[in-house]
Amino acid sequence: GDSVTQMEGPVTLSEEAFLTINCTYTATGYPSLFWYVQYPGEGLQLLLKATKADDKGSNKGFEATYRKETTSFHLEKGSVQVSDSAVYFCALTGGGGSQGNLIFGKGTKLSVKP
Amino acid sequence: KAGVTQTPRYLIKTRGQQVTLSCSPISGHRSVSWYQQTPGQGLQFLFEYFSETQRNKGNFPGRFSGRQFSNSRSEMNVSTLELGDSALYLCASSLATGNTNYGYTFGSGTRLTVV
């Protein structure tokens, strides 16, 4: 079945460092891809999305490009801040023909030190 | 604009009891999905509702059920609670019209502890 694989965390970076969180997927058809972020004690927030191959999603300095040839959707940010410390989830729309069945990766915890 | 509201935020129940969780989606959103989040299994899809109809269901036992009302509010019910049902239950809503994928907005969740 469809699945998402994220790099294992935790990831610890210094402020202003470059961030990459790898995400690869296995899916039939053409899923939409998402990155969600979860801050401590809160629900998930949609960070960015891409709905077709070669689309680039971007938000708050974060970017990810839908690469069908490598089945990847890596998250990048050029200069992280302490406030970016959170857990990041890569996800895709699952089967069943609906958008509401999201399949998530295990999450990657990011800690940014001042 | 109000976000997705889940009530209650925290709940403690005893094994064997049943529980009902509530979700009010963003105004205008007709699609509601539910997820269970645990440290071991991560985020797992429970079910999705659109216009009061269940469109999709995850791989959970029949003890887990849900419904959606005409105002798009949704409830999920877990009967005969087990210790393993302790989790954060997240509700998410979306416009989900036609073929446009708007993504889902999540609530803050209900933390259920079964003792």
pLDDT in tens, A10-23: 999 999 999 999 99
Cβ pair B106:A51 closer than 8 A:
no
The answer on pLDDT for B86 being more than 60 is yes
pLDDT per residue over B98-111, tens digit each?
A: 556 677 899 999 99
Query: In terms of Cα–Cα distance, which of B102, B89, B1 is closest to B44?
Result: B89
Residue of A89, A93, A100 lying closest to B43 (CB–CB): A89
The mean of the pLDDT values for chain B is 92
Which of the residues B43, B57, B60 would you substitute to probe the A interface, choosing the one with the greatest number of A C-beta atoms within 10 Å? B43
pLDDT per residue over A88-110, tens digit each?
A: 999 998 655 566 789 999 999 99
Buried b (16+ CB within 10 A) or exposed e, B80-103: ebeeebbbbbbbbbbbbeeeebbb
pLDDT per residue over B21-62, tens digit each?
A: 999 999 999 899 999 999 999 999 999 999 899 988 999 999
Distance from CA of A29 to the nearest CA of B (A): 15
Cβ pair B45:A102 closer than 8 A:
yes
What does DSSP assign to residue A112?
E
Query: In terms of Cα–Cα distance, which of B70, A94, A68, B86 is closest to B78?
Result: B86
Cβ pair A101:B103 closer than 8 A:
no
Which residues does chain A have within 8 Å of residue B104's beta carbon, measured at their own beta carbons?
Answer: 46, 99-100, 102
Segment A27-49 mean pLDDT: 90
- The predicted pLDDT at position B97 comes to 62
Task: Check if B50 contacts A (Cβ < 8 Å).
Answer: yes
The residue behind tokens 């416009």 is B95
Q: Is the dihedral of CA A12, A14, A15, A19 positive or negative?
A: negative
Tokens representing B7? 């009530």
Task: Grade residue A1 by pLDDT with cuts at 50, 70 and 90.
Answer: confident
Task: Check if B58 contacts A (Cβ < 8 Å).
Answer: yes
